[in-house]
Amino acid sequence: MKKICKILLIMMLLTGCSNYRELNELGLIVAMGIDPAKNMENGYRITFQVINPSQLSPTGSTSGLPITNYTVESNTLVDAYRIASNIIPRENDVSHLSLVVISESVARKGLKLLLDPFVRGKQTRTTFPVFIARGDSAENILGVVEPLESNPTKSIKSTSENNQTMYGLAKITPIHEAISSISSEGKELLLTGIQLNKELTSSNQTDNLNNIKPALIEVSGLAIFKKDKLVGWYDGELARTAHLILSEVESSSFLVPCGEGDHITFTAKRSNSKINTVLKPTPTLRVDVGLTNEISETSCYLDFSNAQVLDRVEKDLEKKIKEEIENTIKISQDQGTDVFGFGNKLNKENPNYWKKHKKEWDSIYSDAKIEVHVNATLIDSGLSSKPYQIR
C-alpha cells in the first residue's frame, strides 16, 4: 500500500505541458513591413514574414523558400495581426519578431503612436531593430530573396551589422531606442535606410537566385526625423559622419587627396566623440573627436618614414573630418532638428536653462555656432614606409 501511495504522489508531481505546441503548428513571424494601405483610407498595409521551419531543418525539403510573406490591410497593427489569421494557416506568433521595416511614405506622414503595440504587447520583445524602406515599399523589400541570404530578414540585419562594423553608415537601432528618441526632449531620431540596389528583372524570385548580379538589399543613408516625421536624409560620408559625432563608429576608412586624382586611405581603428553646448558668449555646438588611424593604401609617392610628411597628412585628415562634421551639423540645423542630442546634453548639465528655453530650442539650435576639434593620431603606416617605384 505504501508503494502505491508513493507512486501516486510522484505521478501528481509530474505535470504535463498544457501550453505545449508543436513547431509545425505555429506561424513564426520574424519580420513586419509597414506601408500605406492601397484599398482603404488612412490605414496600413502590413506584411508579415513567416518562417517555414521545415526548410531550415537538415532533414527537411530543400525545394521551397524558407519564408512566406502574408499581406493584409487595417487601421491598426494589432487588428492586422488578427486579420492575418484569415490567410496564415498556422497560429500567429510574434515572439520571434526580429525586425520592422517602415516605408518612407509612412515615416514622412509621421510615426505618431505607430510603434505603441510593440511596447504595450506582452508577446514581443523591444530589442529588435527598425529600418526605413527608402524609395520603395517595405513589402517589396521583404520580398527579395538573395543567393547568400535566402531569408530577407537575415540579409537586412547581417548587411547592416557588417556595415556598422566596417564603415559606419548603418546602425542597428532597437525599437525601444527609437521610441525613446521620439518621446525624449533635446534628441531627435535617426534611422538607417535600406533599399533595393536595382529593380527586379523578374517577379519570379528563383530568377533572382540564379542571377550572377541579382537585386540586393543595401544600406542607403540615414533618415533624419523631426518629432515623429521623416524630414530628410544623410547620404554617403554624411551618414558616417553623423555616427562619428555620436561616437558610434567602430571602424571606417577615410580618403584624403594627396595629388591630382590620388588619395591616401586611412583606416580608423578607434574613435570617440564628445558633444557639448557652450552658452557664452553665444550658443555654440562643440564637438571633440579623437581618432586612432593607420595608413592602409596610398597612390602618392610619399615617404612615410619622414616625420614631417606624417604630420602633414595627419593635419590633412583632421581638416577633412572637421569639414565633414561641420557640414553634417549644418544640415540638421537647416532642418531645425537636433538629431545629435545637444539639447539633451544641455538638459543634464544645465537643467534650469533648459527648462526656461526648451520650447525655443529648435530656433536656438538652428542659429548656434559650430566649433569642431579633431585629433587624428597616426599609429601605423603599414609594412612599407615608401610605395614601390614603377619603372
Inter-residue contact 318 to 374 (CB < 8 Å)? yes
Q: What is the pTM of this model?
A: 0.88
pLDDT of residue 21: 53
Does residue 250 sit in helix, strand or coil? coil
How far apart are the C-alpha atoms of 111 and 227, rounded to whole Å?
A: 9
Place 20 in a pLDDT band, splitting at 50, 70 and 90: very low
How far apart are the C-alpha atoms of 316 and 293, rounded to whole Å?
A: 13
Q: Which CATH architecture has domain 244-391?
A: 2-Layer Sandwich (3.30)
pLDDT of residue 204: 67
pLDDT of residue 18: 46
pLDDT tens-place string over residues 105-122? 999 999 989 999 988 877
For the segment 317-331, the average pLDDT, to the nearest whole number, is: 97
Identify the residue with better confidence: 384 or 7.
384
Burial pattern 215-244, b for ≥16 Cβ within 10 A else e, equals bbbbbbbbbbbbebebbbbbeebbbbbbbb
Continuous segment of H or E residues that includes residue 267:
strand 262-278
Residue 146 has pLDDT above 50, yes or no: yes
Residue 178 has pLDDT above 90, yes or no: yes
Place 236 in a pLDDT band, splitting at 50, 70 and 90: very high
Biggest distance spanned by C-alpha atoms of the chain: 102
What does the H/E/C string look like for 117-147? Answer: HHHHCCCCCCCCEEEEECCCCHHHHCCCCCC
Place 340 in a pLDDT band, splitting at 50, 70 and 90: very high
How far apart are the C-alpha atoms of 336 and 363, rounded to whole Å?
A: 7
pLDDT of residue 205: 67
Identify the residue with better confidence: 128 or 22.
128
H helical segments located in the chain: 2-13, 53-56, 77-83, 104-109, 116-120, 138-141, 152-166, 175-183, 205-209, 237-245, 307-335, 342-349, 351-357, 361-367
User: What is the location of CATH 3.30.300.210 in the chain?
Assistant: 244-391
Residue 277 has pLDDT above 70, yes or no: yes
pLDDT of residue 313: 92
